[in-house]
Amino acid sequence: MKNNKYLNIVFVATAAFVLYACSKSTETANFKLAKNYVSAAKGKFIIYKLDSIVTRSFGSGFQTSTYTIKDSVVDVFIDNTGKEAFKIFRYVLNVNGSWTSTNTFVLTPQENNVEYVENNFRYIKLISPVQDGKEWKGNTYVNQSPFYVNTSYPSWTYKYTNIDAPKTYGTQSFAKTITVQQYDSTENRPFNKNVYNFYDKGYEVYAENVGLIYRDIMSWEYQVFTSFSNCKLIKPKASGVGNDTILVNCNDPLVNCDSLIQRPNHKVNCDTIIDRFYYNGYGIKQTVLSHN
């Protein structure tokens, strides 16, 4: 009996160890590093269709200009913090078929995250482990919006979605991708042309062992200046039942329509006239065309 009891203890301990080892093995297998979703090797390049969206003259709306660009890894170096970093040149395709260098970026892939410096702004593009729903502050090192004066931009919360989803853009298909939802505001829903509105969204899609394959960023605000016409004050009759309707001029500084509305059972109905409005903002859409 003693031997059997000893064997049972050994069996239980062995089974527990095997289960623990299998569990750790599964966790390790499911631990996806962020750096596996960027192209970090000298000579690597990705060619994109780039749509640049800018405000029209006088803020009347937006216009889109389309380019073909190529982001190429041209050098590997150690940055001033001792980390291995990759220098990326961006080229734009000219009408004669030649390429002209237009910008320089720095990519720093690490075990815990992937940082990217663009136009002197440092972003935390990805973090490890790559898990559905995982969140982080991707604009931690950014103290102002690169688009317009947007106080919420530094606090955008990035989030992973659609882990390992297959995606196709044009002729390019990718078996495993991840989507980073940087932000998507709904404060302007539904859009009201008579009041201040704004909208911010940011989405990026990365393919495993390739890098960024799609980007959709849009950030704008809408300012409007209005006046009122045909204003009517509707208030209870001084005696009896029903209401009196009186014409008022809410644009006259001597007439305080807000105060009138505060009175019991009073309301003011006006036609809103848009004197002028303007948009201010910027957008970019980047779609992969080819890569090596």
Per-residue pLDDT of 154-198, as tens digits, reads 889 999 999 999 999 999 999 999 999 999 987 667 888 888 888
Q: What pLDDT is recorded for position 129?
A: 96
Rounded Cα distance between 114 and 90, Å, is 19
Q: What pLDDT is recorded for position 23?
A: 45
Structural domain range at position 103: 34-223+280-291
- Take residue 100 and report the two structure tokens written for it: 């002209």
pLDDT, tens only, 66-80: 999 999 999 999 988
Q: How many distinct structural domains can be found in the chain? A: 2
133 and 174 within one domain: yes
246 and 214 within one domain: no
In a domain, 47, yes or no: yes
In a domain, 246, yes or no: yes
Phi (first) and psi of residue 277, to 5 degrees: -150, 165
Lowest mean pLDDT segment, chosen from 121-135, 138-152, 269-283: 138-152
In a domain, 260, yes or no: yes
Res. 25 pLDDT band, cuts 50 70 90 = very low
Burial class of 59 by CB neighbour count within 10 A (0 to 12, 13 to 18, 19+): middle
Q: What pLDDT is recorded for position 152?
A: 78
In a domain, 16, yes or no: no
267 and 199 within one domain: no
